[in-house]
Structure 1
């Protein structure tokens, strides 16, 4: 018995859990930060758990992190995966106990997530 649809059967922008990725706080920030149309960003912000200022900061640095946003004691770090035109396809994310990932991501973890996102981006071109 199959538990879900294959990735190629899901509507664009949906993740395995069924919710649109832009609604996912861990993946949503990098996805939203990669949107080029101002009206799309404006459309997403009323329902978002972050501000336009946070979105601009995520876009500037190229990654997002959270601590206990979805689950107490869990931290995450995400970076966008882009196609050849620069459009955001999805995101690479790592999550785990705050005790292991820390409240502020280390430069080594940030670098590893950015490198993974860049490698997938190159493969997607």
Structure 2
């Protein structure tokens, strides 16, 4: 099944196709993992609006998301579902985790700047 570009018609099929969770027993668990996007968007919004970076929560959600979808599919799904204004937060977090692929068909990664404030905070806390 080819997924050259993600869109509203093939997004769910793409997510199901790449979902790898041996512990998953039903669609509720799949939905719970996909809903991590919603939680990430809230955390990104909080940082954008209030400057409150919940780095541990963001990184935990991203790690779990990458574990169940894989590196490239997770990034494609995230960049498809997250608003463009949050791309620098997402890119910086994925890069810090070393989970940022070199290419994603839906976005030009080179044109997305890193958020150096986030990167400095992550490096200070986690290294």
Q: Which has the higher contact order (CA 8 A, sep 6+)?
A: 2
TM-score, normalised to structure 1, is: 0.28
**1 or 2, which has the higher helix percentage?**
2
TM-score, normalised to structure 2, is: 0.28
**1 or 2, which has the higher strand percentage?**
1
